[in-house]
A and B are shown apart, each in its own frame.
Chain A
Amino acid sequence: MVESRISSSSRSRDLDKLLLRPGNLVGPTFEPGTQLRDDLQEYARILVVGAGGLGCELLKDLALSGFRNLEVIDMDRIEVSNLNRQFLFRLEDVGQPKAEVAAKRVMERVSGVNIVPHFCRIEEKELEFYSEFSIIVLGLDSVEARSYINAVACGFLEYDSNDEPVEETVKPMVDGGTEGFKGHARVILPGMTPCFECTIWLFPPQVKFPLCTLAETPRTAAHCIEYAHLIKWDEVHSGKSFDPDNPEHMQWVYLEAAKRAQLFGIPGVTYSLTQGVVKNIIPAIASTNAIISAACALETLKIASGCSKTLSNYLTYNGVEGLHTKVTEFVKDKDCLVCGPGIFIELETSVTLKMFIDQLEDHPKLLMSGASVRVGGKNLYMAAPPLLEEMTRSNLGLPLFELMDKSPTGVVHVTGTAGKGDKRQSCLRKLRVAFKAVGIADTDMAGGA
């Protein structure tokens, strides 16, 4: 009965076998049939973050995996060195926004697919933008960007009164990453599987050379390059900042590094190495990107349709010596600041928004300064841009309790810069606020609701 609907002359000839036929090794929600196929086409909305090596592949893979509503966000423009793997771009596209060209090329070839490009920074988008998607797929090469999207997606997660995640608020993410012949793909179901932050140790910070080594005891070509880049540049070009994308700047660093290397008898300084060290270039090839993106796209299809089990939860691929793949089931950090139930803060009803923001700076788990505060969809205070700051400034003097419509408890999202010293970065945190006195009186009501 089910099978009779599969048509061999249809565009979805192959995909139909997976979506229309029942199976035993499938997800718990799997309901095979044409309805499922049509729903995927009509209702599933997928955001691809990054339109680079992984992003190009992901858009193609998703467009050919039954999805029709795709969006892609990327702030970069196409460079010549992208062309060895970012197959949607041609030489004549160099300088164009990646997101726009990638979206256009896929739509040209796969009819029926609609891809909306967003040529901007991920931080520029409102939270609502991200909340609209069924699944967010990440094709990024930066830890910071992953961390940000992870926090946004986890921010949508709500917990019930038993601290169990509310299923409808789980925003699934699929994340991929590659380096040379190696890569990883992972599935993040916030609240259910570990989020990016739960296993942040998988991405150890890059080791920097101590400045005294660069200045006093250089030994390698990289030391000479970093000396020219980090110390000599500022000495010579007072006030002019170094631009890694300016070939003249790069050439200057290269020549200075070469001079220094000659002085100390150190071999190996080349222009290519100079670029590699200064820009921290990660080698990248088409094949690895293809493998990792395909794994991510397949998982996206499985999460959206239930047509098979999902990866649980972290896949590594290593093709350096033979071929090794491994699936690791990492566990959630129940105290995770990002995907956990949130940091609990108890406040007097008299605490003003300004006092609350000041408290965030001293809170040991937050250490957040310059915070903006949102409750539900409403901006209570925006630290930037100036126009919004001015518009929300008047709230600072008002009690937070009143700004939250005298609700005894609530979830507050704060964004600001956190961390210590030069490791500060923008971040988003979820707080669970309860007001003293009212909270207690209302417990029964909340329980009965």
Chain B
Amino acid sequence: MAEPKTKYDRQLRIWGEQGQAALEKASICLLNCGPTGSETLKNLVLGGIGSITVVDGSKVEHGDLGNNFMVSESSLGQPKAKCVCAFLQELNDAVKAKFIEEHPVTLIETNPSFFSQFTLVVATQLVEDSMVKLDRICRDANVMLIFARSYGLTGFVRISVKEHAVIESKPDHFLDDLRLNNPWPELKKFTENVDLDTSDPVVHKHIPYILILVKTAEEWAKSHGGRLPSTREEKKEFKEVIKAKMVATDEDNFKEAIEASFKVFASQGISSDLKRILDDTCAEVDSGASDFWVMVAALKEFIANEGGGEAPLEGSIPDMTSSTELYVNLQKLYQAKAEADFLVVEQRVRNILKKIGRDPYSISKTVIKSFCKNARKLTVCRYKLIEEEFNSPVLPELQKYLTDEEYSVAVGFYILLRAVDRFSANYNTFPGQFDGGMDEDISRLKTTAVSLLSDLGCNGSTLTEDLINEMCRYGAAELHAVAAYIGGVASQEVIKLITRQFVPMSGTFIFNGIDHKSQLLSL
């Protein structure tokens, strides 16, 4: 076996040892191992997922050889689940791979408790009726579920989890937590000891912009009745004030200060996103509360008390022009404040745990620390039951999509993907699945789609003939390239769900393979 650290190096740089450990603990169940399902699992097996269970009741046919890399000539006539499982095992011997030769639909109907053993179920190529049933089963068993389907040049991915809370959301662009307009006493004091008017040009060009901005903001507030720049004019003037402090044209630190001055203008206190989480009813915790919500409750107390309206300090600073000494000391200052904030939150977490009758030390220091560091970036995702979306989608959204040119093809596919399932329930075949009768299938699909839309309270005339024709042309084909795309998306979302890092998608992702104008629909 290769040293896992080297083998997984390129992904450890993304989700770290903790994310990797979560993957290695996870057990995944795949329903149907056509190309969509097989490709989803392939990407997870390569990354070192703990265990997989492949469920499929079909035998390998000639047609499968043309769209699924995990079966080959020698697999013809054999159980597809067995062949796919064997190939996947070959990719990574650290993964526990097994298969069950059984039709997923049968399992859903006869053995719902089967699913409770898994961390997450990837359900591919299921029709509406089975999706609704499986969704209910997984929701009750608290098992994460992700649906994926490829259909001609379209398809979808949909997550179904009651609640998914993310501490390490790792957004690409997020405002640093520098407190330039709201410095705590130690930062204030530190700033006071730095002389912006120093006569030493080398020292002057190595004052980090944090200090320049804290000082300038303070001066500004003093001369403006305690206010900071808010109008366009004032902001421009503020930058001029900084510029005037430069003694040479090559002072990168002052240029950086001017560029970063928007951080002074940023509003104090917490964001509306965070406020929504604090105000969530789940933040009123009892003995059944999850660790996440216990920590949110502690955070809420902290912000209202010691935090003075602010979340715990993140405790890191970006790189900036500076002398080594000032930079390192500044970094220590931020870390010390973050540590102090953390200790307060930790104490509050322990108290709350005690109050709700849990072991006060049942949440580890590391977890609380990470929670504090990421407090401003907490994210909570909730997903409707698919049945609810199917029966009563958010009508204004649906109507908006139907009339918006950017969304028209994607929402058209969404409706048609549902319509083909109704079609198959009525006629025992998908439109255009077999030769002959194409014209009849087109008109039947049209009728089905229009009645589906009117059941939802929408006008059916928005669907174009071209798209209905196109859907019949697809004839339920599972094209390899489309399956690889859909499977890729599904596996990426699975990784986010299991590592609890990054933010999983919300809504339903509709793939548009015609011109790639795919969309997320929030229904």
Contacts and interface: CB of A to CB of B under 8 A. Distances in A.
Residue of B69, B206, B489 most packed against chain A (CB within 10 A): B69
A321 B520 contact: no
Contacts of B498: none
Contacts of B514: 25, 308-309
A80 B46 contact: no
Contact of B10 (A11, A63, A281): A281
Nearest to B67: A14
A295 B48 CA distance: 25
A290 B488 contact: yes
A380 to B, nearest CB: 43
Contacts of A378: none
Nearest to B318: A220
Interface string B44-56: 1011100000000
A293 B484 CA distance: 8
Contact of A291 (B2, B65, B470, B492): B492
Interface stretch (B108-116, B341-349, B432-440): B432-440
Interface string A266-295: 110000100110000111111111110111
B488 A291 contact: yes
Interface stretch (B263-271, B320-328, B359-367): B320-328
A219 B324 contact: yes
B491 A60 contact: no
A134 interface: no
Nearest to A105: B69
Given A17-B475, A286-B47, A298-B485, A23 B513 contact: no
B233 interface: no
A4 B43 CA distance: 37
Interface in A48-76: 57, 60-61, 63-65
Contact of A283 (B14, B44, B48, B319): B14
Contacts of B292: none
B140 interface: no
Contacts of B466: 24-25
B495 interface: yes
B67 A87 contact: no
A111 B436 contact: no
A212 B331 CA distance: 21
A3 B438 contact: yes
A299 to B, nearest CB: 8
Contact of A3 (B90, B171, B435, B505): B435
A184 to B, nearest CB: 11
A288 B46 CA distance: 13
Interface residues of A, number: 82
Given A83-B7, A219-B327, A17 B473 contact: yes
Nearest to A289: B488
B324 A272 contact: no
Nearest to B172: A320
Nearest to B34: A14
A429 to B, nearest CB: 32
A412 interface: no
A84 B11 contact: yes
Given A9-B63, A298-B485, A309-B515, A321 B2 contact: no
A311 interface: yes
Nearest to A65: B481
A80 B492 contact: no
B69 A9 contact: no
B469 interface: yes
A25 B46 contact: no
Interface string A363-405: 0000000000000000000000000000000000000000000
Residue from the set B39, B152, B487, B509 with the largest chain A CB neighbour count within 10 Å? B39
Nearest to B329: A265
Contacts of B153: 18, 298, 308
B473 A21 contact: yes
Contacts of A237: none
Contact of A10 (B47, B66, B206): B66
Contacts of B251: none
Nearest to B90: A90
A294 B171 contact: no
B300 to A, nearest CB: 24
B274 to A, nearest CB: 15
B10 A321 contact: no
Contact of B434 (A8, A65, A297): A8
B517 A327 contact: yes
Given A18-B152, A309-B514, A286 B491 contact: yes
B328 A265 contact: yes
Interface in B457-503: 465-467, 469-470, 473-475, 477-485, 487-489, 491-493, 495-496, 502-503
A217 interface: yes
Given A217-B323, A295-B485, A320-B502, A23 B43 contact: no
B505 A311 contact: no
A231 interface: no
Contacts of B513: 298, 308
Contacts of A60: 69, 480, 484
Nearest to B480: A64
A28 to B, nearest CB: 14
A219 B322 contact: yes
Contact of B14 (A181, A217, A265, A267): A181
Interface in A90-140: 90-91, 94, 108-111
Interface in B306-330: 319-324, 327-328
B175 interface: no
B276 interface: no
Contacts of A111: 65, 72-73
15 contacts: A13-B63, A18-B152, A24-B470, A61-B481, A65-B481, A110-B69, A181-B14, A217-B323, A219-B319, A281-B10, A287-B491, A320-B172, A322-B503, A323-B505, A325-B518
Given A83-B7, A219-B319, A285-B47, 4 more contacts: A13-B62, A63-B69, A287-B492, A309-B514
**CB-based closest 3 A-B pairs:** A13-B63, A290-B488, A291-B488
